[in-house]
Amino acid sequence: MAPMDPALASALARATLYFHFLVVVFNISALILIPLGTFLDWGFIRIFWWRALHVASMALVAVQAALGQYCFLTLLQNRFQAGAEPGPDFWLDEWVTRAIYWPLPFETFVVLYVIALGLTLLFWIWARPGKPFRARDPL
């Protein structure tokens, strides 16, 4: 396989970092919004595809960690970064990196991800998805 253009590798590494950040925000915010939305009767928290995506995302993260593997997005970003052109980091890259990658032992993340998956599954049972969302439903 031919080496990737360093500028393209840099752009793909940055895009992967930002996408990874969005996945983390989605997973964490759903863990907050589902119970809150259940109490406040927000219709959107029962949208099946949204909830299924959350369960799938959390399951993927927890299973990978439980198997001793790093997140595939981390590995992909590292691969792109290895071929990237050296240069100054953009301030947002540094901020997002600090938000995603915490200096804790890997085992800590395994425990946190398994607990988060357990909560996600508990929320699936407690606040069942499936109610269709209508535009007139209050958020």
- Greater confidence (128 vs 89) lies with 128
Total-model pTM? 0.85
Shortest CA distance to 26 belongs to which of 49, 43, 3? 49
- Residues with Cβ within 8 Å of residue 4, at least 6 apart in sequence: 12, 80, 83
6-53 pLDDT, tens digit per residue, is 888 898 999 999 999 999 999 999 999 999 999 998 888 999 999 999
The residue extents of the domains of the chain are 6-83+90-126
* Contact yes or no for 120/45 (Cβ under 8 A): no
